[in-house]
Chains A and B, each alone.
Chain A
Amino acid sequence: MLKLSKGIITILVLLLFGLNQLNAQHGHNNADVNESENHSADSHGIREFNAGEYIVEHVSDAYDWHLTSWGRDHHISIPLPVILYSKHPELHGGKRFFVFMSSKFHHAHDPYKGFLISDSEEFDGKIVEFDSHGNELGRPIDLSITKTIAEAIISLIILIIILVSAARKAKRSTGKAPTGLQNFLEPIIIFIRDEVAKPAIGETKYKKFMPYLLSVFFFILLNNFIGLIPFPPFGANVTGNIAVTMVLALFTLGITTINGNKHYWKEIYNPDVPWWLKFPIPLMPIIELSGVITKPFVLMVRLFANMLAGHMVVSVFISLIFIFASLMGPVAGFAISPVSIAFSVFILLLDVLVSFIQAYVFTLLSAIYFGMATAEHD
Chain B
Amino acid sequence: MLSAILTVLLQAVAGATVGKLGAALGAGLVAIGTGMGIGKIGASAMEAIARQPEASGDIRSNLIVSAALIEGVAFFAVITCVLVILV
Contacts and interface: CB of A to CB of B under 8 A. Distances in A.
For chain A, what secondary structure do more than half of its interface residues adopt (helix, strand, loop), or is it mixed? helix
A309 B10 CA distance: 34
Contacts of A357: 64, 68
B50 to A, nearest CB: 23
Nearest to A56: B86
Nearest to B16: A30
A133 B7 CA distance: 42
B43 interface: no
Contacts of B5: 17
Contact of B72 (A18, A302, A364): A302
B78 interface: yes
B65 to A, nearest CB: 6
A18 to B, nearest CB: 8
A193 B38 CA distance: 28
A24 B79 contact: no
A74 to B, nearest CB: 30
Interface residues of B, number: 21
B4 A305 contact: no
For chain B, what secondary structure do more than half of its interface residues adopt (helix, strand, loop), or is it mixed? helix
A120 to B, nearest CB: 15
Interface string A279-323: 000000000000000000010011011100100000000000000
A24 B10 contact: yes
Nearest to B78: A305
A21 interface: yes
A173 interface: no
B18 to A, nearest CB: 9
Nearest to B18: A20
B44 interface: no
A24 B18 CA distance: 12
Given A21-B4, A24-B7, A357-B64, A305 B16 contact: no
25 contacts: A17-B4, A17-B7, A18-B4, A20-B7, A20-B11, A20-B17, A23-B11, A24-B11, A30-B16, A30-B17, A301-B72, A302-B68, A302-B75, A304-B79, A305-B76, A305-B78, A306-B71, A306-B75, A309-B78, A357-B64, A358-B68, A360-B64, A361-B65, A361-B68, A361-B69
Given A20-B7, A20-B8, A364-B65, 15 more contacts: A17-B7, A20-B4, A21-B3, A24-B7, A24-B11, A29-B16, A301-B72, A301-B79, A302-B68, A305-B72, A305-B75, A305-B78, A357-B68, A360-B65, A361-B69
The 3 closest A-B CB pairs, nearest first, are A305-B75, A302-B72, A17-B4
